[in-house]
Structure 1
């Protein structure tokens, strides 16, 4: 594919997405084999293009205001197997292979290890690495 064709393809991809006022789109990341939801993060246009270029998840960190290649420090990278866009075009779903099975910065498999217990009216920590 020529550089011109690639730029046209990238532009078509980016134009299909409904970006918020900050130029971001929410991204839900799911483990492809288990179906577990691992995390939620944000992407800007550069993060999405870099994800496609590398074949690994790259997000936009709002707190540090920069691109964040998932696993750049921990080694727990996410190999992207599928990129999906929801019907409204305003949320991306990444289906990934999670290296070492750890997606959360806490060392957990998933960032969603807190479960609301309605009877007790509290959040229960269901992590295996309870602090």
Structure 2
């Protein structure tokens, strides 16, 4: 095993995959920091992503790997990858070509759940 493989294995071992062996990956446009989508990865998808520079995900519904853009042309090139403080969420910074969402929109987060009276709500309740 090469030093590079050992280093990659060590980085992937820091990820706290769930009981199904998956971790959510939040995808953000590198240049604008716009949140584009959320998808799932297992250790192999993360390994492929970090070694090839193109994002690979695990499809929970189809049970297969899929590399973003292979059929649509809307590729994601990895510019950075971060792990949250608990190790259970990956943040991928990408250069996105075309729309990120399968619906054809730039981002999967087009639906606005906020209300007109958002300022009247206590968004940060005191806990405990």
With the shorter chain as reference, the TM-score category is 0.7 to 0.9
Whole-angstrom distance in 2 between the partners of 1:32 and 1:118:
29
Query: Which of 34, 39, 57 is the aligned partner of 2:55?
Result: 57
Structure-2 residue corresponding to 1:108 = 105
3-state SS, counterpart of residue 2 of structure 2: helix
Whole-angstrom distance in 1 between the partners of 2:5 and 2:113:
46
Whole-angstrom distance in 1 between the partners of 2:88 and 2:4:
23
Count of aligned pairs: 117
Structure 1: stretches of 5+ with no match in the other structure: 120-131
Please state how far the C-alpha of 1:118 moved relative to its aligned partner: 2.8
**Stretches of 4+ moved more than 4 A in 1?**
none
Structure 2: stretches of 5+ with no match in the other structure: 117-128
TM-score by length of 2: 0.86
Please state how far the C-alpha of 1:117 moved relative to its aligned partner: 4.6
Structure-2 residue corresponding to 1:125 = none
- The structure carrying a bigger strand percent of its residues is 1
Structure-1 residue corresponding to 2:2 = 4
Whole-angstrom distance in 2 between the partners of 1:85 and 1:71:
24
